[in-house]
Amino acid sequence: MIARLILTPFSWIFGLVTGIRNLLYDKSILKSYSPGIPVIVVGNLLAGGTGKSPTVVWLARELSSKYKVAILSRGYGRKTRGFQLLDSASTPETVGDEPMEMKLLLPDLTMAVDTNRKRGIQYLASDKYGKTDVILMDDGFQHRKVKPGFAIVLDNFNRPMRSEPLLPAGLRREPLSGLKRADLIVATKRKTTIESVQSGSRIFLITGIAHPLGLVSEISKTGQLIHHLRFADHHSYSHADGVEIRRLYQSFLANDQSGATLAPPIILTTGKDYVKLIRLPELSDLPLQWIPVGPPVDPEEKQNILNKIFNYVEKAHGKR
């Protein structure tokens, strides 16, 4: 609380700067690129997890029933620069962990990463990498250099953006006035279910995500959480981490008093952690599993969201 009070004046300055920047774009003093192809951005106002990637995966699956879809991401945490197309040689180091997770879920979809979103869109729209009807942009609501055709803002039900102060006192990236650019605001994580956890199963959990407490709570409802090894968001797992994970897991097995009456615990992790952990030889023979995550939106809202998305894409194609 004291730290937040100290940082509040800096949040005022941050709000002023971002507000002026938005105004310059709104008045077309700073120019935005309008793509000649339908572009849907899935973003938020908060730094941290609101469920953008699983929402993008869900929309990509739905849109793929009718259109050729491509996904463009920034590729946060990668060690490369420029435009990178995801292929069989891609790794979390070359394209980032979340794009690798999406590729694991959608192996046949065209995906690319580029911090220069305009360039990334132009490359994907050129049909150089196959026909593209619509581009889903994972994050980038604050990337004003590109003007998407349809903007979705996700709002974490458990940490609503309206009650969060601006950076650096809080996690909000821009003033709430920025919401006028959104075509759709969706509350996420109101209801969370982890269907992959069987009742009574024992879980050794590893997370490298921003806010794991909701996940921990859901796992604990059906399974028995025996250990939670928590890393920072987008953690880059080292061989030393692999050695430590193995040591902790084997130490539990050595001291397990259940004998043969209970199955050994599984090592459970998120998709974006899984694509990095499976590359560690220290874990190759351990029961590592990942949690398939569906769209973090209420089931009754799904069709309404899809109707608006398909309506936008159909109208956009009708004007081309």
What pLDDT is attached to residue 193? 65
Domain layout of the chain by residue ranges: 29-191+297-318, 202-290
β-pairing verdict for 184-188 and 150-156: parallel
What pLDDT is attached to residue 270? 92
Residues forming a β-bridge with 39? 135
What pLDDT is attached to residue 192? 64
- Of the options 1.10.3470, 1.10.287, 3.40.50, 3.30.1490, the CATH number for the domain spanning 29-191+297-318: 3.40.50
What pLDDT is attached to residue 37? 96
Residues near 262 by Cβ (< 8 Å), separated by ≥ 6?
Answer: 202, 256
What pLDDT is attached to residue 198? 77
Residue pLDDT tens, the chain, 320 long: 788 888 899 999 999 999 999 999 999 999 999 999 999 999 999 987 788 999 999 999 999 999 999 999 999 989 999 999 999 999 999 999 999 999 999 999 999 999 999 999 999 999 899 999 999 999 999 999 999 999 999 998 888 999 999 999 999 999 999 999 999 999 988 766 676 677 888 999 999 998 888 889 888 888 899 999 999 999 999 999 999 999 999 999 988 877 667 888 999 999 999 999 999 999 999 999 998 877 888 888 999 999 999 999 999 987 66
What is the fold of 202-290? Answer: Rossmann fold (3.40.50)
What pLDDT is attached to residue 316? 92
Separation of CA 6 from chain center: 31
What pLDDT is attached to residue 79? 94
Tell me the C-alpha distance between 87 and 100, whole Å: 10
- Omega before 212 cis (within 30°)? no
Is there a common fold for 29-191+297-318 and 202-290?
A: yes
Separation of CA 223 from chain center: 25
Count Cβ neighbours within 10 Å for each residue of 84-107 and write b for 16 or more, e otherwise.
bbbeeebbbebbbbbbbbbbbbbe
pTM of the shown model: 0.89
